[in-house]
Amino acid sequence: MTRQALLFIWGQWCEASDRGVREIRSPHDGSLIASVPEATLTDALAAIESARFSFDAGLFTSWSYSERAKLVGRIADLLERDAEMIAISESHDTGKRIVEARFDLTDVIAVFRYYAELGANLNGRNVDVGRNEIKSEIVYEPVGVASLIGPWNYPLLQASWKVAPALVAGCSFILKPSELTPSSAIHLIRILDEAGVPKGVANLILGSGAVVGFPLTSDPRVDMVSFTGGLATGKTIMGAAAQTVKKIALELGGKNPNIIFADADLAAAIDNAVTAGFLHSGQVCSAGTRLLVEREIHDQVVSAIVERARAIRLGGPNDQEAQTGPLISQAHRAKVETYIASAIAEGAKLRAGGGRPSEENLRDGWYLEPTVLDECKTEMNCVQDESFGPVITVETFDTEAEAIQLGNDTIYGLSGAVWTSDHDRAQRVARALRHGTIWINDYGPYRPEAEWGGFKASGTGRELGPSGLFEYLEAKHIWTNLNPAKSGWFPETSVGEKP
Ligand code: NAP
């Protein structure tokens, strides 16, 4: 097998220290896409040292915010230049259609442009303490060395939410993409190097989270961990980071209620419900896979969604007719199938899908039919857990209060939607739902300028928007007395002297 130098440490491309490699295989047909180095513990420690050294030596922190913002703008230009190449490689890694990968790249570039602009205008602030001789300033400084760990569903997009603000802030970092989808991160690091990020600031570790995850999240030389992934991994990371009280930002899973009231524009609500549940075969943290429908429109809505689900055409990255793709891996498909089987065993009614497609050209991939499970109960695993597959579960409600109660009856709190033509009700429900993003009469849009993140077990901290930059900054208060004076707090008598 060809060995390639695709780890990036101390500003150099290198192989894994034990020369180990991992095969990256297509979720569409199992074909070999690439062989990449599989980093060892030694490599992870070297990457941490490289980031620490570059930070402590001030290689990047000596730049002004506007200089770093300009660099981030240059990175956006280079991403634009290479967008098609990166979209192709990401569609092969993830199995998603090339059109979807192109949308993702457009969003990635927008994120870099947004943080370039925000960084150019970043200022500290002065606090008026009401005394002319006092200058009280708040300045923002980089947190330090950050481990940036991402998932496989939107590999470069999730990385961009971390890398762009980390660069503007002046952090040094170690980027670790999912072991399943490394290609776009490799390309991003090439671009950072070309754009002029100082050596040692950006480091890339490829490999298994089980091996390199612990040093990246526990080593005392790491100041911060920004993680996007599943809840179980998030809890492990919280524990590892706690030992040295690292700053953490966690973007975890979601079980997102999509609530349709009888007075909604049903054509729009049904169409968006199909997209919310089956886009990227449900492998979306904000997927609207938990459908809550008012009882009087239940039959109409569910029948329409079932019909649409059955008509969805599955296919690989280059299939022009395909509407969605495979699941990421054999293991992941097996997990989703277990959720479907357990829901049926618990009494859910299978109305669409539930099995693997029979087409010859899909047999070698990890495909699963878009599935609709009706008559679900809130306590079912498939309703409560994030199956992260193309599975819409349907529950029914009778009142607004019940819709809110069901929408909040989850440990997660990432996103949700409410469909109604009653503006006041829309506002009431949106305010009452404890999720980080609520869409009213829409599903899915997000903006680089608007904060993204979860309540409850969906995480801690926020990405995107100004908060997404402040995650990588420490606020420091500098108090200057321009006219030094005695404090006068304790009397100036010597020991033994009477006051
Ligand atoms: P995952 O299994 O938790 O893995 C995420 C990343 O963590 C991968 O790079 C993984 O490496 C690494 N990792 C695994 N064990 C680790 C450890 N002990 N210490 C440090 N890192 C470790 O999640 P996933 O299956 O890739 O992604 C799907 C999940 O991401 C879903 O739950 C989804 O909801 C969530 N997600 C959330 C958002 C959001 O904005 N809230 C966005 C996208 C995705 P390996 O790949 O090598 O195991």
Residue type for position 95: G
- Ligand 1 atom with the smallest distance to the CA of 254 is 34
347: left (phi over 0), alpha (psi -120 to 50) or beta: left
- Ligand 1 atom with the smallest distance to the CA of 177 is 9
Per the structure block, which two tokens stand in for 113? 């442009």
Per the structure block, which two tokens stand in for 110? 């927008």
Please check the confidence at residue 265 and state whether its pLDDT lies above 80: yes
Ligand 1 centroid, distance to 233 Cα (angstroms):
6
Measured distance CA(130)–CA(240) in Å, rounded? 44
Residue 201 CB partners (closer than 8 Å, separation 6+):
51, 54, 55, 59, 60, 167, 172, 173
Measured distance CA(358)–CA(240) in Å, rounded? 44
Measured distance CA(281)–CA(313) in Å, rounded? 11
- Tell me, yes or no, if 251 is annotated catalytic: yes
Cβ(368)–Cβ(333) below 8 Å: yes
Cβ(180)–Cβ(328) below 8 Å: yes
For residue 1, what pLDDT band results from cuts at 50, 70 and 90? very low
Considering 15, 90, 100, 251, which one is annotated as catalytic? 251
Strand partners, 21: 37
Residue type for position 222: V
User: E strands within 12-89?
Assistant: 12-14, 21-25, 32-37
Cβ(362)–Cβ(314) below 8 Å: yes
Identify the CA nearest to 254 among candidates 224, 226, 277, 225. Answer: 277
pLDDT of residue 3: 59
Ligand 1 centroid, distance to 66 Cα (angstroms):
33
Residue nearest to atom 39 of ligand 1 (CA): 251
Measured distance CA(276)–CA(476) in Å, rounded? 42
- Ligand 1 atom with the smallest distance to the CA of 328 is 25
Per the structure block, which two tokens stand in for 332? 């992941």
Strand partners, 478: 137
Helix axis angle for 41-56 and 209-218, nearest 10°, is 30
Residue nearest to atom 15 of ligand 1 (CA): 209
Distance of CA 270 to the CA centre of its chain: 27
Cβ(454)–Cβ(412) below 8 Å: yes
Please check the confidence at residue 498 and state whether its pLDDT lies above 90: no
Per the structure block, which two tokens stand in for 405? 């109660």
Residue nearest to atom 47 of ligand 1 (CA): 208
Please check the confidence at residue 2 and state whether its pLDDT lies above 60: no
Ligand 1 centroid, distance to 354 Cα (angstroms):
25
Ligand 1 centroid, distance to 464 Cα (angstroms):
18
- Ligand 1 atom with the smallest distance to the CA of 285 is 34
- Ligand 1 atom with the smallest distance to the CA of 161 is 40
Ligand 1 centroid, distance to 205 Cα (angstroms):
15
Q: What is the mean pLDDT of residues 250-271?
A: 98
Main-chain dihedrals φ then ψ at residue 332, nearest 5 degrees: -70, -40
Residue 242 CB partners (closer than 8 Å, separation 6+):
none
Q: What is the mean pLDDT of residues 275-279?
A: 98
Query: For residue range 41-89, what is the model confidence (pLDDT) as tens digits?
Result: 999 999 999 999 999 999 999 999 999 999 999 999 999 999 999 999 9
Residue nearest to atom 10 of ligand 1 (CA): 209
Residue nearest to atom 35 of ligand 1 (CA): 229
Q: What is the CA radius of gyration of the chain?
A: 25
Distance of CA 337 to the CA centre of its chain: 24
Query: For residue range 183-239, what is the model confidence (pLDDT) as tens digits?
Result: 999 999 999 999 999 999 999 999 999 999 999 999 999 999 999 999 999 999 999
Ligand 1 centroid, distance to 124 Cα (angstroms):
34
CA 281, 285, 286, 290 dihedral sign is positive
Identify the CA nearest to 109 among candidates 64, 70, 161. Answer: 161
Q: What is the mean pLDDT of residues 312-319?
A: 96
pLDDT of residue 398: 98
Per the structure block, which two tokens stand in for 269? 């609500």
Q: Report helix, strand or coil for 309.
A: helix
Residue nearest to atom 20 of ligand 1 (CA): 213
CA atoms within 13 A on the CB side of 342: 15
CA atoms within 13 A on the CB side of 155: 30
Ligand 1 centroid, distance to 229 Cα (angstroms):
3
Considering 285, 294, 376, 400, which one is annotated as catalytic? 285
Substitution candidate for ligand 1 out of 228, 327, 388, 411 with most atoms within 8 A of CB: 228
Query: For residue range 93-150, what is the model confidence (pLDDT) as tens digits?
Result: 999 999 999 999 999 999 999 999 999 999 999 999 999 999 999 999 999 999 999 9
Measured distance CA(402)–CA(83) in Å, rounded? 46
Q: Which residue has the tokens 């909604």?
A: 264
Ligand 1 centroid, distance to 92 Cα (angstroms):
19
Measuring from each residue's beta carbon to the nearest atom of ligand 1, which residues come in under 6 Å? 149-154, 158, 176, 178-180, 208-210, 213, 217, 228-230, 233, 236-237, 251-254, 285, 386, 388, 414, 454, 459
Residue 187 CB partners (closer than 8 Å, separation 6+):
82, 85, 86, 89, 156
Cβ(359)–Cβ(326) below 8 Å: no
Substitution candidate for ligand 1 out of 149, 157, 451 with most atoms within 8 A of CB: 149
- The chain-wide mean pLDDT, for the chain, equals 97
Q: Which residue has the tokens 């969805």?
A: 312
Main-chain dihedrals φ then ψ at residue 235, nearest 5 degrees: -65, -40
Residue type for position 150: G
Residue 247 CB partners (closer than 8 Å, separation 6+):
143, 223, 224, 225, 471
- Tell me, yes or no, if 463 is annotated catalytic: no
Ligand 1 centroid, distance to 155 Cα (angstroms):
10
Please check the confidence at residue 263 and state whether its pLDDT lies above 60: yes
Residue nearest to atom 40 of ligand 1 (CA): 251
Q: What is the DSSP letter of 375?
A: S
Residue nearest to atom 23 of ligand 1 (CA): 229
For residue 499, what pLDDT band results from cuts at 50, 70 and 90? low
Measured distance CA(132)–CA(138) in Å, rounded? 17
pLDDT of residue 4: 83
Measured distance CA(157)–CA(180) in Å, rounded? 15
Residues in the chain: 499
Cβ(288)–Cβ(419) below 8 Å: no
